Amino acid sequence: MAPRKNKANVVELRRSLTIPSIKQNALSDQLYDACIAKARENPGPEGTTPWLHLKDAVDRGTISPMEAYDALEAGFLPEHLKIRKSLYYHLL
């Protein structure tokens, strides 16, 4: 027998799925340019999506700029940053 849905569970699920809005001045021009350059270096969905996710997550404040610079310097997106919310995190 499937569990019954109640209004509180549905509201809590919707709240957990919301993506934060864009914050002003969270993403510098230098960080934006670096993310776009990495996306261009790695064509295709598997190569481009992580860098677009990184850019968007910094813009929304779910990833700090320092974490983003570390990922850019390493050349890959660590697993713990892939779960941070952005418009692209469900594609990773």
Per-residue pLDDT reduced to its tens digit, 24-59: 778 889 999 999 999 999 888 889 999 999 999 999
User: Any residues with CB less than 8 A from the CB of 57 and at least 6 apart, and which?
Assistant: 63, 68, 81, 84, 85, 86, 89
Cβ neighbours, 10 Å, residue 33: 11
**12 located within any domain:** no
Q: How many domains is the chain built from? A: 1
Instruction: Give the structural domain span for 31.
Output: 22-91
Q: What percent of the chain is modeled with pLDDT above 70?
A: 82
**4 located within any domain:** no
Q: What is the pTM of this model?
A: 0.75
Q: Which residue's entry shows tokens 């860098």?
A: 51
